Amino acid sequence: MSSPAAVSPRIADPTPIGLICLAIGCAALVPIAFGYSLTPAGLQTAAVFCLLFGAGGQLVAGLGSLLNHNVYGGTLFTSFAFNWVVNWWALDSLARGVVPDAGIVVAVDVCFLVIFLAFTYGFGFFSKLLMLFLLDIDLLYLARIARHFGGGDWLGVVIGLCTVALAAISLWIAFALLINPVAGRAIFAFPGPAFTPRARG
């Protein structure tokens, strides 16, 4: 996820770290998304994975990307990391019987959706797969917002499926970045850009 005109990286590409940690964080949320493990123990268990992998792993990836002058990866992973801290807090609060304020949560979800829609377009200049990654996140946030405004319980299933898909796409991209160079061939397909930048001048 580095810029096409990026300078030589100062450290190894941290993107696979962020994506693998994202997948692990999503996996911890899948049972909850489908209505299971809603006990205090289940919520607190998921909260720990959100804090360590969701927040910690993506903060490492975000700061590493910024160190490599990768603004796209750095911005996405770093903002994700802070959002995963909120996930940790929300799950831990629910386990203690405190429900986060729904009005504030939906307002932030709308802000995130606007951000991710812009990122979806931007990542189309890098790879169709990265664009699909962001489209899945867009759909997840649309479902969250629609459910808040009374869209129906079926949206919980949509959120759960989007969470599973996000984990799967994250792992696919991470494996493409890790395994393909070692194997010397594209075992995990990584298609090119969906869009072509307009020529300057």
Q: What is the DSSP string of 41-108?
A: HHHHHHHHHIIIIIIIIHHHHHHHHHHTT-HHHHHHHHHHHHHHHHHHHHHHHHHTT-PPPHHHHHHH
Q: How many helices (H) and strands (E) does the chain have?
A: 7, 0
Provide the 10 A C-beta neighbour count for residue 200: 4
Asked if the structure places residue 101 within a domain, the reply is: yes
Q: Which domain holds residue 135?
A: 15-183
3-state helix, strand, coil in the chain (%, to 5): 70, 0, 30
Give the pLDDT of residue 8.
79
8 Å CB contact between 180 and 188 = yes
Asked if the structure places residue 193 within a domain, the reply is: no
Asked if the structure places residue 195 within a domain, the reply is: no
Asked if the structure places residue 197 within a domain, the reply is: no
Asked if the structure places residue 96 within a domain, the reply is: yes
Q: What separation in angstroms does the CA of 173 have from each of 10, 133, 147?
A: 22, 9, 29
Distance CA 197, CA 124 (A): 10
Q: How many domains does the chain have?
A: 1
Q: What separation in angstroms does the CA of 68 have from each of 5, 7, 73, 120?
A: 12, 8, 10, 22
What is the full per-residue pLDDT of the chain (201 aa) written as tens digits? Answer: 554 444 678 899 999 999 999 999 999 999 999 999 999 999 999 999 999 999 999 999 999 999 999 999 999 999 999 999 999 999 999 999 999 999 999 999 999 999 999 999 999 999 999 999 999 999 999 999 999 998 888 999 999 999 999 999 999 999 999 999 999 999 999 999 999 988 776
Asked if the structure places residue 5 within a domain, the reply is: no
Residue at token pair 């720990």? 48
Asked if the structure places residue 110 within a domain, the reply is: yes
Asked if the structure places residue 135 within a domain, the reply is: yes
